[in-house]
Chain A
Amino acid sequence: MKPTVNVLYLPGTNCHAETIRAFARAGARPQLVFLADIISGAARLDDADILCIPGGFSFGDHLGAGAVAALMLRTRLAEQFQACTDRPMIGICNGFQIILRAGRFGPGASLKVNDSGTFENRPIQRHVVSHDNTSLWLDGLAGATLTFPCAHGEGRFVYEPQTVTKSANWKTALRYPTNENPDGSDADIGGITSADGLAFGLMNHPERSTEPQTQIAFFENGVKAVSNGRSRIVGSLLGQALRSQPGRRTARVGPARRSRLSLDPDAPMPSDAGPMHRSSSVTR
């Protein structure tokens, strides 16, 4: 049975197709999971072996890149997102921005506007995999130089020095070679993993690499870890077992909220605005 991957689809996501292709080539069974379905309860973030948040401009980068989606993961979807911390998780580009802001790598680190002040498109960008990071995502790649495209405007990784301690929440996974840093990231960091190695965040796009093996290297590792039982998948299996019981509903944090304008573009505005709405329902 192939490991399953939930590829989160948010309004503004635009790299889902190639990400799904890469996971499929790596031997997984990826599926798109729509935000609207998660909010309505028709789908869940945490009912797959791997969570992937792909690239794009979720919510148009309003309030800051990844800000709205990250807040969603910290509040309304907190339970499901928390459940995903026990399994492989990968955030690519906007996905990295989201899971970083959502706290997956702890406080004290941010992704900000590139040093150049603008978007950097570099189809050929080299990345050196850390020698001493034992994350499942980097298995067999220690010290390797992988080439895949850079395409982002807010990828400068900055961190408060006091966060890099023995109890640090993250570890360096990828570095840019000297003089090849596209965005001014501190210490030439091009990607990080969580301290437990389960979560991986990177700004650039391996799924777009023109080298077939590079394209799937990380994804293959994630898939392999699930298949080999190396990832902490107990929660996921338990979750699957629980969800197979009829009538089960996800426990909610706080009172259920009615969907309104902020997530439903057709929910009512105040009356002065005229007939700008209709009631919206998702038919299941």
Chain B
Amino acid sequence: MIHRFSVKSTRSSEPDIERRRRAFGLPDLQFWFDYYIEFDDALSANDAALVCGTLGDQVGTRVAMDEPFPLGTITVLHRRGVVDNENTSILSMCELLGLRAVAGKVARCYQSSSPRLREVVKSMTFNDTIEEIHGNPPRFDTLVPAGAYLPAETYNLRALDKDSLAQLGRAGGRNLSLQQMLRIRYVQESLDLPSVTDVLLEALDARWSDHCAHTTWKSLGRLLDRLVAASRDTANPNIVSMFHDNAGVWNFYDGYALAIKAETHNGPSAISAYFGQLTKLGGVLRDILGTGLGADPIGCFEYTATGPTDAEPPIAGRPGPRQIAHDTIQAIKEYGNTFGVPMMWSRMAFHPGYRAKPFALGGSIGILPLSAAQRGRPEPGDLVVLIGGLTGNEGMHGASASSAGSEMDVAAVQIGAPLEQVKFRKALIELRDENCLRALTDVGGAGLNSAVGEIGEPSGIWINTALVPLKTSALPMWRILLSESQERMLLAIPPQAYRSAQRILDRHLVRSTVIGRFTNTGCYCVFHNSHLDEQTVIALAAGEVPTDRGELGFDVPYKLCDLPVDARQVGAPPEVRRGRTQWPDWAPDQLASLLARVAADPDVASQHYADAQYDTTVQGNTVHGPRYGTLTSVPSSYWACTPVDGSPAAAVFSTAFNPWLFGLHPVRALRQLFLSLLFSLVLAGVEPNDICMCDNFYTPHLTEHWAEWLVAMVEELASLVRRFGVPVISGKDSSAGSTRTDEGVVSVPPAVFLSGLGKIPNYKNLLGEAWTDEGSLLVRIGPPTPSPAGTVAARLLGIGDGTVDEVPLDQAEQFLAALRDSRSLFRTGTRLGPGGVAAQLVTGGLATGMGVQLDATATGFEALFAEHRLGALVEIDPADLVTLPADLHPVVVGRLTTDGRITANGGDLLTPEVRRAWTSAFSELLA
């Protein structure tokens, strides 16, 4: 018997409902949750009252059972074939009340008199892959998913001509080219098989996608190998592991190491930003968990660039920039806060290049014992153990579709459930520390296929998909294998350690299932046999393969699973010819109005509206950042934490990215931003040799010379790595940044996001940022990059498209040495960036309440608004000015006061308009 319990507020207004009213633009909106519960027996009045009382135990709440829908109600809930994330909790509640229930669902209910309600709900908060929408209470025969298993489809590729092969390769959402289909035919021939299954087609479609196989980078001359070689050439002793595991690993102190990883979910976030961003963060956290024998995340960061908010998305029906921004905030706070990892850095940007496909980047750092920092190696006979969430029908073709460009649809978007991941987070650490793990990896892009395929290579592996716990009642074999359902990890556990492992997992209430064994056959084997149970799999001898494999998906030697990639020669990119633009020669009284416009730009303005929703103090280890300031909270130049209990040693983190600059000259931009990141960490107090980086390339594939620019950027990065001894130890490439839209091809600028990780023995030696002393001098240091090109102010003035400064590397090296040697002279220091010196003056003043009397030479447009990205604004004792070495390129900006004004030419630049612009512009932009 199924009953519906409506949990409603008795008050005319609740904050979460008010928030939805504003977001939906429906001032009369009502919102509540309906809980559908299927009971074994009829429900007595007393039992119904028990359930109502439990669900409605909060002040100002009432619960009604089976109440008719008020007029104008829309309800959204999980599809009938999908197990609701809250199912287990609903059943827990019933059990605790002494009631027998078999399934539960929760529905979101919206009610309004507006005829637009359904359209608004569908566009803002509905995922067609897993949800259904109704205008009346839906009728269920049962809430328990039902259905039957569909056998695999088979194809004799030897009997197909090229046209048919090509057609088959693209059928059913696959992205296999003719060349790839011919390769699969070769596999069939080599193994003398009568046919191949759709399971093999889907598995190789994912394995050979750009996402998994980095085919674009390989085709351009094995670009990743160039970065790895450059990093290896630094011979930096802190490198523990790079580009080999799920994250890069960097030596720390006290017998520990740090892990760093960042990844993107650009394609999914273009379709459903909430789910795309939720699973982005969940995925990168799992990468950290799956590094070495298990690392624990200690920080996360987030960057999202979408199109300008005043433009419609170029693909009809896709969410617009404001929707993407709001959904991003909702998703990131939900995952990060629930998981319990502090936000180190977050930023949103609005750039026309990302209006079709956003740049949705998320990253994390973690900590693990040095002794467990190397990637594990399964041994033949080890158990293949799947832990975490259920496997469902979502995220299909996520990897191959994201590699293919714009042909992604909503079925390819993954869905997240952070609770499952929180549950196994601590369990994994215990498994590692109790020596129950031989190896582990996360299940992410391309689902089990990628995880099983990678962890089993080269020695061999087999799995029985019939043992995989499902969200739905049944799925075809290929969907089980390729599902990108989240919150799952794959473990290699020695049989003799399994009982201990099971005890740990049970203690943490983590779902775990043995689904296969590692072998020494050199083959990757997938089959579906519902009669082969877990206990039988466990009881098999090492190396023993089940005689009855039921329905075979494929059994292919690993050496046949690789696809050679044809390399192409690429020349140098064309020379960029742009005129040198000049800073205007305006009257001083126009400075303040420009400053207000600069302060309001999203690249400069406070993003408190977003930042304030991310937990920055959980774990209790943060010692600096992501914001500082006693009066107003302003963004910091770096973040630091002390992750080892009782030790003052700190991990230090920062980032560098500027899409405007990359759009003008990708190589020069890369150089400036690499150096900016390096110098900012050294300014903070980190030794250059203790710094590593993570790179995330996001490049177009349909623009002229896209390949030339990509190769040139990689070569520039490799050159910088060698020159400065700063290795890149982790990274990803996203090479499908061009999207076919209703208005033509929209491409992202060729760019790379750099994140930097460093370490310092004692956090007390980190340089503070908040101004301290009246009378101190503020000095700009750093090799100058005075060009207006790519700056916020110049963009607002319409002169932003000029020549990007090329920084001489000798000068940069000399500055680095001088910076390192002069740090003790700085009382405080902040890095320069968007908005230049002017922006730092605003934030410094707001943070501390102090003021600045500007030097007469520091009041021009160039002095204030040029973005000297390699530089910093440092506070020094005036007596130390003469001791600053010339290689620091010191320029006096002004003197600190206590009046809270930025005075220039007799006027105050920190006007109420500037203050308001900086404080409120971002939230107004998203309104």
- Chain A interface (Cβ within 8 Å of chain B)? 11-15, 17-18, 21-22, 34-37, 55-57, 59-64, 67-68, 70-72, 75-76, 101, 108-110, 112-123, 149, 151, 153, 156, 158-160, 184, 205, 207-208, 210, 215, 254, 257, 260-266, 269-270, 272-278, 280-283
Residues of A contacting B473 in the complex (Cβ-Cβ under 8 angstroms): 272-274
Contacts A62-B86, A158-B60, A270-B102; A68 near B513 (Cβ below 8 A): no
Q: List 5 additional contacts besides A120-B613, A277-B469; criterion CB under 8 Å.
A: A36-B508, A68-B93, A112-B15, A121-B612, A160-B59
Q: Which of B332-340, B431-439, B753-761, B863-871 is the interface stretch?
A: B332-340
Minimal Cβ-Cβ distance residue in A for B390: A276
Asked if A35 and B509 sit within 8 Å, CB to CB, the answer is yes
Interchain CB contact under 8 A, B144 and A269: yes
Chain B residue contacts of A112, Cβ below 8 A = 14-15, 58-60
Asked if B19 lies at the interface with its beta carbon under 8 angstroms from chain A, I say yes
By the criterion CB–CB under 8 Å, are B15 and A184 in contact? yes
**When A261-B88, A275-B533 are in contact, do A280 and B506 touch as well, CB less than 8 Å?**
yes
Per the bound structure, the CA–CA distance linking A122 and B747 in Å amounts to 38
A117 and B18 in contact (CB under 8 A), knowing A62-B89, A72-B96, A158-B59?
yes
Give the dominant DSSP class at A's interface: loop
- Contact of B59 (CB < 8 Å), options: A109, A114, A121, A275: A109
Contact across chains for B144 and A263 when beta carbons are under 8 A apart = no
**A117: which of B15, B97, B530, B533 is its contact (CB, 8 Å)?**
B15
Give the distance in Å from the alpha carbon of A71 to the alpha carbon of B58 in the complex: 13
Whether A34 contacts B507 in the complex (CB less than 8 A), given A71-B96, A113-B14, A278-B513, comes out as: yes
Contact A275 B617 (CB under 8 A): no
Most chain B CB within a 10 A radius of its CB, from A62, A70, A109: A62
The residues of A that contact B633 with a CB separation of less than 8 Å are: 123
Q: Report the separation of the CA atoms of residues A266 and B633 in the bound assembly, to the nearest whole angstrom.
A: 46
Residue from the list B92, B93, B619 in contact with A18, Cβ < 8 A: B619
B503 within 8 A of A: yes
Q: Which of B57, B149, B506, B621 contacts A101 (CB 8 A)?
A: B57
B232-240, B416-424, B781-789, B840-848: which lies at the interface: B416-424
In the complex, residue of chain B having the shortest beta-carbon distance to the beta carbon of A59? B89
- Identify which of B55, B89, B149, B623 gathers the most chain A CB atoms within 10 Å of its CB: B89
The reply to whether B470 and A17 form a contact with Cβ atoms under 8 Å apart is no
Complex contacts, B474 vs chain A, CB 8 Å: 274
The interface residues of chain B lying within 8 Å CB-to-CB of A260 are 91, 95
- Counting CB contacts under 8 A, is B54 at the interface? yes
Which of B95, B418, B535 counts the most A-chain CB atoms under 10 A from its CB?
A: B95
User: What are some 7 contacts across the A-B interface (CB < 8 A)?
Assistant: A12-B419, A63-B93, A109-B59, A115-B15, A261-B91, A262-B88, A273-B470
B residues near A64, Cβ cutoff 8 Å: 55, 58
Which B residues touch A160, using CB under 8 A? 59
What distance in Å separates the Cβ of B507 from its nearest Cβ neighbour in chain A? 5
- Give the distance in Å from the alpha carbon of A9 to the alpha carbon of B213 in the complex: 41
Q: List B residues 144-161 near A (Cβ within 8 Å).
A: 144-147, 149
**Interface membership of B499, Cβ < 8 A:** yes
Nearest residue, chain B, Cβ from A209: B620
* A272 pairs with B144, CB closer than 8 A: yes
Asked if B90 and A274 sit within 8 Å, CB to CB, the answer is no
Partner of B417, one of A60, A207, A269: A60
CB distance from B149 to the nearest CB of A (A): 8
A200 to B534, CA, bound (A): 47
Q: B97: which A residues are within 8 A, CB to CB?
A: 71, 75
Which residue in chain B gives the minimum CB-CB distance to A163?
A: B59
Q: Which of A59, A110, A119, A208 contacts B60 (CB 8 A)?
A: A110
Whether B509 lies near A11 (C-beta < 8 A) is yes
Interface string of B603-634 (1 = CB under 8 A from A): 00000000111111111110100010000010
8 Å CB contacts to A: which residues of B100-132?
102-103, 106
Q: Return B256 CB to nearest CB of chain A, in Å.
A: 15
B96 touches A57 (CB 8 A): no
Q: Given A71-B93, A276-B390, check contact A37 B338 (CB 8 Å).
A: no
Which chain B residue lies CB-closest to A119? B613
Q: How far is the CB of A112 from chain B (nearest CB, A)?
A: 6
Say whether A57 contacts B422, CB under 8 Å. Answer: yes
CA distance A278 to B645 in the complex (A): 39
User: Which 7 A-B pairs have CB atoms at the shortest separation, nearest pair first?
Assistant: A14-B340, A117-B19, A18-B620, A60-B419, A62-B89, A262-B92, A265-B511
Residues from chain B with a CB closer than 8 A to the CB of A71 are: 54, 92-93, 96-97
Among the listed A21, A56, A63, which residue makes an inter-chain contact with B89, where contact means beta carbons less than 8 Å apart?
Answer: A63
- The answer to whether A56 and B467 have CB atoms under 8 Å apart is no
A62 to B533, CA, bound (A): 32
- Chain B positions within 8 Å of A265 at CB level: 88, 509-511
- What are the residues of chain A within 8 A of B466 when measuring CB–CB? 274-275
Known contacts A14-B339, A117-B16, A63 near B55 by CB under 8 Å: yes
> Which among A17, A34, A283 has the greatest number of chain B C-beta atoms within 10 A?
A17
Q: How far is the CA of A114 from the CA of B93 in the complex (A)?
A: 25
A22 to B616, CA, bound (A): 18
**Hey, which chain A residues are within 8 Å of B623, CB to CB?**
210
Q: How many Å from the CB of A7 to the closest CB on chain B?
A: 13
CB distance from B325 to the nearest CB of A (A): 14
* Alpha-carbon gap, A159 to B58, bound state (A): 10
The closest CB in chain B to the CB of A36 belongs to B507
| B85, CB-defined interface residue at 8 Å | yes
**0/1 interface trace, chain B 523-545, chain A, CB 8 Å (1 if under):** 00000001001110000000000
Q: Is the beta-carbon distance between B333 and A119 smaller than 8 angstroms?
A: yes
Residues in B448-484 with C-beta less than 8 Å from chain A: 466-467, 469-470, 473-474
Please tell me if the beta carbons of A278 and B534 are within 8 angstroms of each other in the complex.
yes
Contact of B419 among A11, A114, A263 (CB under 8 A): A11
Given A60-B338, A160-B59, A283-B499, are A266 and B511 neighbors across the interface (CB < 8 Å)? yes
Q: How far is the CA of A118 from the CA of B15 in the complex (A)?
A: 8
Q: How far is the CB of A193 from chain B (nearest CB, A)?
A: 19
- Distance in Å from the Cβ of A258 to the closest Cβ of chain B? 10
Which listed residue, B59, B511, B513, touches A110 by the CB 8 Å rule? B59
Bound form: Cα–Cα A261–B95 in Å: 10
Provide the residues of chain B in CB contact with A108, threshold 8 Å: 59
Q: Does B227 contact A (CB under 8 A)?
A: no
Q: Chain B contacts of A257 at CB under 8 A?
A: 95
Known contacts A14-B339, A72-B96, A110-B58; decide if A149 and B617 are in contact (CB<8 Å): yes
Q: Which residues of B contact A120 (CB under 8 A)?
A: 612-613
Q: For residue B425, which residue of chain A has the nearest CB?
A: A14
Cα A28 to Cα B701 with chains together (Å): 60
Is the CB–CB distance between B507 and A262 below 8 Å? Answer: no
Quick check: B92 and A151 within 8 Å, CB to CB?
A: no
B11 to A: closest C-beta gap in Å? 9
Contact B423 A12 (CB under 8 A): yes
Closest to A108 in B: B59
A100 to B93, CA, bound (A): 17
Contact A15 B96 (CB under 8 A): no
Please report the C-alpha to C-alpha distance between residue A68 and residue B94 in the assembled complex, in whole angstroms: 10
Residues of A within 8 A of B620 (CB): 17-18, 21-22, 205, 207-208, 215
- Flag if A263 contacts B338 (CB, 8 Å): no
- Contact (A119, B337) CB under 8 Å given A63-B89, A63-B93: yes
Q: Is the CB of B16 within 8 A of A121?
A: no
The CA of A133 and the CA of B588, in the complex, are separated in Å by 59
Residues on A with C-beta less than 8 A from B512 are: 266
The CA of A153 and the CA of B102, in the complex, are separated in Å by 31
> Do A36 and B506 form a contact, CB below 8 Å, given A109-B59, A120-B612?
yes
- Among residues of A, the one whose C-beta sits closest to the C-beta of B608 is A121
Give the shortest distance, in Å, between B673 (CB) and chain A (any CB): 28
B-chain residues with CB within 8 Å of residue A266 when the two chains form the complex: 469, 511-513
Question: Bound state CA distance, A109 and B61, in angstroms?
Answer: 12
Docked pose: A14 CA to B339 CA in angstroms? 7
Q: Which residues of B contact A60 (CB under 8 A)?
A: 85-86, 89, 338, 417-419
**Residue from the set A60, A115, A118 with the largest chain B CB neighbour count within 10 Å:** A60
Q: Which residues of the other chain, B, contact A63 by a CB distance below 8 angstroms?
A: 35, 54-55, 86, 89-90, 93
